[in-house]
Structure 1
Amino acid sequence: MGEWTDKAKGKVKETVGAATGDRSLEAEGKADTLKGKIKGVVEDVKHAIKDKRDEREAARRDADPHRR
């Protein structure tokens, strides 16, 4: 599932688990929420790497007028 789906699913499980006293469901919800947060961080890192790569390529193109 996606980042936001995991976070939402996790919050629901966490809330239901806390409300019903089901510690296992609450823990599962916390794990799902954390999984969603980790997916978000991974996506942010991927985008940052791509942006830096694109910047480096643009700088190389600008520095060498024969390279296109």
Structure 2
Amino acid sequence: GFEITRKQIILEEPIKSLGIFTVKVRLLSGIESSVKVWVTGLHDEVSTAEIDEELAAAEASDAAFRE
């Protein structure tokens, strides 16, 4: 894993609402990646099924990219 600093996060505009967002992260000079960020309320419960679906889709996309 990587430790990400605030300076590495690339936002087109501030996130001001709840939801799932794709955010770009600068890993190294000239190398960027996209990550999904879940923004929830303090006491909101995120559906485990929703997270599992998102993770499965991300893993499938990653596997296809590596082939």
Task: Give the TM bin, normalised by the shorter chain.
Answer: 0.3 to 0.5
TM-score by length of 2: 0.34
Larger Rg: 1
More strand by percentage:
2
TM-score by length of 1: 0.34
Q: Which has the higher contact order (CA 8 A, sep 6+)?
A: 1
More helix by percentage:
1
